[in-house]
């Protein structure tokens, strides 16, 4: 018996994009496109006849824009929504508003340029749709039919496993990883940090260009300074560095001081940036000087890295199931035995500060 598929409604004014998204989603054995719509009015009629599990939604459309439709959906009949925008839209304020209005994720439309980029976009889109389906408490049984599993690289692809270096006693640093639901979780976390908090580096799964707007938005509402990381940025008190979309971010050390390396590389644990990459580099170059947290998100990115951090003497926190939009990454980290404490979102910042001398 084949398990229940995730039914998706694709809403986009471009026929080419509707067809591309349909082909990509239908290629996954666990997903089926139940219909498409050229604009929100057509989408509303289809929803009245059959409620989808997930909606993919463009932002700029005729007759009614995607943000207005998103607000109507959330107020009248909440359905998990993935905003699928152009590259330019992803870097704008509308993408942030979409998350504030209730979208589960904002991703860029699949890149058609090269086979490699298209395949990465396909993996990302299908993963996000599955995470969106889980975000409202729905559980989809895996299909009985054989699934073609994409190769999933681990952190070895970017930073080889090595013995933790002999870490000098130095200031504590904070490493954080998040995915689905993480944009709001990080806002809650960062709003609680004081202006002179310990250095913080964050990986949030996001499309390229979106992280700039995200970091700027957080910087405008939080007391601590927040910026998108650049290669060579020093980790200093009162500064939060957010990994840029489509780049890996690693922790490095020079003497007793830390900085970040931002670099290209393959998808690791199906993501770029990858939490596993950041956490492994933390285990290797900082070890017991790290306080880490893994937050809401689907999949297992960061779980292995957190176990390596834990084994290197770091203090490791996982967000609890009750406050996670998707309890995937934290659960996998707990299962691997790399977590010292499981906490609700609202208490993570206080524990991080207590354990890092902040």
Catalytic residue among 205, 209, 248, 310: 205
Alpha helices in the chain (DSSP H): 15-26, 40-49, 66-76, 87-90, 93-101, 115-135, 182-191, 210-221, 275-285, 303-311, 329-335, 345-356
How many domains, in total, are found in the chain? 2
Nearest of 9, 13, 3 to residue 22 by alpha carbon: 9
Q: Does residue 172 sit in the same domain as residue 317?
A: yes
- 128 and 163 assigned to the same domain: no
The two three-digit tokens of residue 296, written as one number: 């809401």
Q: Are 13 and 42 in contact (CB under 8 A)?
A: no
CATH of the domain at 130: 3.40.50.2300
> Is the bond into 273 cis (omega within 30 degrees of 0)?
yes
pLDDT at residue 162, rounded to an integer:
59
Q: What is the largest CA-CA distance in the chain?
A: 64
Q: Which domain holds residue 297?
A: 156-356
Strand segments (E) across 154-196: 173-178
Q: Any idea what the Cα angle at residue 166 is, between residues 165 and 169, rounded to 5°?
A: 125
Residues 130 and 167 in one domain: no
How far, in Å, CA of 172 to CA of 57, rounded? Answer: 42
- Measured distance between the N- and C-terminal CA atoms of the chain, rounded to whole angstroms: 54
Q: Is residue 151 part of a domain?
A: no
pLDDT at res. 137:
37
Contact present, 185 and 296 (Cβ < 8 Å): yes
**Confidence at residue 278, expressed as pLDDT on a 0 to 100 scale:** 98
Q: How far apart are CA 25 and CA 332, in angstroms?
A: 26
100 contact partners, CB below 8 Å, separation of at least 6: none
d(CA 164, CA 26): 44
Whole-number pLDDT of residue 147: 33
Eight-class DSSP state of 136: T
Integer angstrom CA distances of residue 217 from 59, 60, 130 = 19, 21, 27
Same domain, 131 and 160: no
Per residue in 56-113, pLDDT (tens digit) is 999 989 889 999 999 999 998 889 999 998 754 555 678 888 888 899 988 888 766 6
Q: Which of 135, 167, 196 is the last residue of a domain?
A: 135
Annotation says 301 is catalytic: yes
- Structural tokens at position 146: 């054989």
Q: Could you give the CA distance from residue 271 to residue 255 in angstroms, rounded to a whole number?
A: 30
Cα angle: 330, vertex 331, 332; to 5 degrees: 95
Q: Which residue in 271, 305, 273, 303 sits closest to 290, CA to CA?
A: 305
Residue 256: other Cβ atoms inside 10 A = 11
Task: Say if 146 falls within a structural domain.
Answer: no
Catalytic residue check, 179: yes
Which of 85, 135, 179, 269 is catalytic? The answer is: 179
**C-beta of residue 138 within 8 angstroms of C-beta of residue 155:** no
Residues 228 and 346 occupy one common structural domain: yes
Residues 121 and 216 in one domain: no
Check residue 357 and give left, alpha or beta (phi > 0: left; psi -120 to 50: alpha). Answer: left
For residue 331, tell me if it sits in a domain: yes
- Whether 221 and 169 map to the same domain: the answer is yes
Task: Output the pTM of the full model.
Answer: 0.82
Each of the 358 residues of the chain gets a pLDDT tens digit; together they read: 356 899 999 999 999 999 999 999 999 999 999 999 999 999 999 999 999 999 999 998 988 999 999 999 999 888 999 999 875 455 567 888 888 889 998 888 876 665 666 778 888 899 999 999 998 633 333 333 333 434 445 666 566 665 555 555 578 999 999 999 999 999 999 999 999 999 999 999 988 888 998 999 999 999 999 999 999 999 999 999 999 999 999 999 998 899 999 999 999 988 999 999 999 999 999 999 999 999 999 999 999 999 999 999 999 999 999 999 999 999 999 999 999 999 999 999 999 999 998 7
pLDDT at 150: 45
For 47, 59, 94, 226, the CA distances from 84, given in Å and listed in that order, are 19, 8, 12, 26
Both 60 and 16 in a single domain?
yes
Neighbours of 138 (CB within 10 A): 13
237 is a domain residue: yes
């Amino acid at each position: 018996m084949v398990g229940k598929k995730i039914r998706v409604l694709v809403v986009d004014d471009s026929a080419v994009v509707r067809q591309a998204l349909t082909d990509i989603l239908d290629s996954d054995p666990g997903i089926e496109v139940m219909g498409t719509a050229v604009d929100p009015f057509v989408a509303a009629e289809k929803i009245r006849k059959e409620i989808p599990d997930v909606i993919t939604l463009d932002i700029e459309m005729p007759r009614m824009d995607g943000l207005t439709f998103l607000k109507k959906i959330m107020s009248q009949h909440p359905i998990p929504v993935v905003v699928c925008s152009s590259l330019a839209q992803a870097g704008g304020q509308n993408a942030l508003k979409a998350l504030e209005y209730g979208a589960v994720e904002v991703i860029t439309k699949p890149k058609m340029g090269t086979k490699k980029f298209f395949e990465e976009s396909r993996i990302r889109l299908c993963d996000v749709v599955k995470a969106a389906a889980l975000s409202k408490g729905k559980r989809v049984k895996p299909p009985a039919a054989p699934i073609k599993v994409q190769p999933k690289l681990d952190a070895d692809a970017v930073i080889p496993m090595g013995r933790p270096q002999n870490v000098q006693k130095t200031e504590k640093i904070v490493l954080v990883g998040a995915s689905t639901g993480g944009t709001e979780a990080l806002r809650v976390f960062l709003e609680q940090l004081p202006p002179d908090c310990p250095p913080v580096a964050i990986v949030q799964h996001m499309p390229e260009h979106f992280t700039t707007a995200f970091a700027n938005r957080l910087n405008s509402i939080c007391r601590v300074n927040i910026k998108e990381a650049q290669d060579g940025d020093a980790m200093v008190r009162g500064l939060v560095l957010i990994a840029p979309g489509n780049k890996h971010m690693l922790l490095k050390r020079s003497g007793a001081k830390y900085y970040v390396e931002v670099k290209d590389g393959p998808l690791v644990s199906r993501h770029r940036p990858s939490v596993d990459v950041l956490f492994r580099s933390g285990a290797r170059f900082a070890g017991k000087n790290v306080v880490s947290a893994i937050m809401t998100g689907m999949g297992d990115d960061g779980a292995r890295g957190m176990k390596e951090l834990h084994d290197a003497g770091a203090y490791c926190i996982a967000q609890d199931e009750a406050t996670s939009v998707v309890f995937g990454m934290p659960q996998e980290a707990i299962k691997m035995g790399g977590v010292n404490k499981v906490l609700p979102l609202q208490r993570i910042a206080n524990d991080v500060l207590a354990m890092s001398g902040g």
